[in-house]
Structure 1
């Protein structure tokens, strides 16, 4: 493999790189660069009676020489580096810089480019990633979890054709959702959780072909989009924001892919759609600490893969469905801080095993329940669910449970 050589001349505290901008400071008596063999040779002037030192840097590939000044400029922007990470960011061997990884690009298997960056846990501080991330044309993975980066995300990231994993979680980014992400056709993994983004999330985000979407722990405020299930997503995490409104029935469109759903700690309201029972791949479904109400749909008894169900801290009522308690892989069923009034023998068995938590409900004969007055006050204000009878529909075959056909159940009725 041919190596690309370029000379760096340090003149008047200015780096001169190859054919890039030349800044000479006091240039009296200086001669212009002469080119020999395709490599520029810089003839430096004598400044203050001293001859500037010349350092030769040899790069494995021309592409690496082009990202070198971008990295060095970013290094100069870093205001805090408690772990001394950037001490390794010197010299021409960029592939050995801590956090930087090289590989062959898809368009040229003989080339060497900067392909991925992993800054996870480096605790670096910088006012922005602009002029850095968006200027790395061959980057495929960018992970920067747990740093102190601030600012907004440049719209230029839409010009990164190979970027398929973007993780900027647990930083201090702010502003609106970076809409340039919508134009990133290669993106399959997006993690922007634990930042300070505000406003709404474009509905188009849920039509992208993502495997994982983590936007939890920001300040997004909007109604849950009706097209929530339009993507073949595996992990959907919207927790700890200010999403409101009901969980859309459209979520069932993701029935063949969705394995983990986190809606906890939002302002969701309304009743659970029975279509949740169609999410046959779901392992975790968490909608705790919202304002959801109505019964728990019997259809959840069809979630044969589910291990964790959390509906604690809502306003659910009625009987805890035995068909849900009978789920074979269920390890944690959290229904505390609701208004359930009855549990059957299968559910009582889960209580004894520590799998089912029904504290602070309205179930006679069980310890740690709400007061009679508190329960009476809640039930004095009727709450209504559309197609109430559909909550007793079981859309799968279960040997010990059955339900009437759905068509006979789809009639609006109060709780």
Structure 2
């Protein structure tokens, strides 16, 4: 005895007249509900959210859903719309658009919690989230950890505070911008697990040392740590960042000599160590890096610069103002320098500061000069744009 074949699945419900798909009909109702929360609309955007063709609403774009082969809302881009409202939240909107892949909302007035259910189980294709320059506060928006398809996360210029969960550095991101918030903690030890290309943690209250694991973040092109409260000596592992073009730790409380491993940063164009408590001679090998366009060491306690470094000073590539270099103008007073050096200063692993990972043997003295290496013009850095609330082009 054989069972009869199962009945065919019921046909998917047809959209009401005027809607391109059932998905579009659903998204239409979500948008209309959200529209009522917007009471400040200086550009008159929401007035144009009329009719059933949401694909032509300003700020929205449609595409074909890969697994359903129907038209659906794929992107919402509210950058620079300056939307406002007494209770303008994304809960009930962002988490009700399950086909969305891109959500950009730079420069608006969103508040409240970031929706809890934006994980891949609900918003399956979400790979870009930009909530920058809004009115968010409270702890890190933990719900983004569930959005495991994300490649771009930008929450800069808000008032998020507390700590950043270590899991953020295991997300498969290309871009992580969390600058200009109020995060305060030591940097997680797994910082180097991040696969990001662009990392901006500037203008927060991060403290403690830069983790040695940073040397494992081998995709890093640009990293901004400036204007935090970082302390301790730079780990030699930074010298393993052989793709990095921009490295900025300016305006922190870092100290120690420059590790000789920095001689391995062959692609470095902008290196900023200004306004810290670094000391000792400036390594000639660092001044000999082939692509350096800007080396800022001002407002530290460096004591010597050699021939290669002096060439960069004359080209205005190297800034060593307000240090303790006796024969150069614009230096700290003798009393200021004497006071600094009256305390004994050491780094935890002094020997590692002489280790050069890209050299055969690690401590060899032979090293080719910049004349023997390929030169390339410095490209415009991207991440510095992230330090301006409204400006970012990737």
Short-chain TM bin: 0.7 to 0.9
Of 268, 285, 297, the match for 2:247: 285
1:154 aligned onto 2:133: no
Distance 2:329 2:80 in 1: 44
Report what 2:304 is aligned to.
Answer: 342
Distance 1:107 1:189 in 2: 23
Distance 2:15 2:143 in 1: 36
Distance 1:194 1:392 in 2: 39
Report what 1:79 is aligned to.
Answer: 39
- Give matches, 1:169-180, under 5 Å: 169-180=132-143
Unaligned runs of 5+ in 2: 1-11, 367-394
Report what 1:265 is aligned to.
Answer: 227
Secondary structure of the 2:180 match is coil
Of 382, 389, 409, the match for 2:344: 382
Distance 2:202 2:226 in 1: 5
1:5 positional shift: 5.2
Of 129, 135, 150, the match for 2:96: 135
1:236 aligned onto 2:199: yes
Report what 1:103 is aligned to.
Answer: 63
- Give matches, 1:392-411, under 5 Å: 392-397=354-359, 402-403=364-365
Report what 2:84 is aligned to.
Answer: 125
CA deviations over 1:28-57 (Å, ceiling 9, x no partner): xxxxxxxxxxxxxxxxxxxxxxxxxxxxx6
Instruction: Give the number of the structure whose residues are more often strand, by fraction.
Output: 1
Distance 1:79 1:200 in 2: 33
RMSD between superposed Cα atoms in Å = 1.6
Distance 1:371 1:152 in 2: 51
Secondary structure of the 1:65 match is helix
**Structure 1 segments (4+ residues) deviating >4 Å:** 2-5
CA deviations over 1:197-217 (Å, ceiling 9, x no partner): 011111111111111111110
CA deviations over 1:296-336 (Å, ceiling 9, x no partner): 01111111111110010100000011100101111010100
1:403 positional shift: 4.2
How many residues are treated as equivalent by the alignment? 349
Distance 1:138 1:315 in 2: 50
- Give matches, 1:8-407, under 5 Å: 58-109=18-69, 111-126=70-85, 127-158=88-119, 159-255=122-218, 257-397=219-359, 402-403=364-365
1:131 positional shift: 0.7
Q: Contact between 1:280 and 1:304, CA under 8 Å: does it hold in 2?
A: yes
Distance 1:385 1:199 in 2: 29
Distance 2:161 2:334 in 1: 41
Q: Contact between 1:3 and 1:60, CA under 8 Å: does it hold in 2?
A: no
Unaligned runs of 5+ in 1: 7-56, 405-415
Distance 2:202 2:15 in 1: 50
Q: Contact between 1:393 and 1:403, CA under 8 Å: does it hold in 2?
A: no
1:4 positional shift: 5.3
236-245 vs 151-160, which moves further = 151-160
Distance 2:73 2:161 in 1: 32
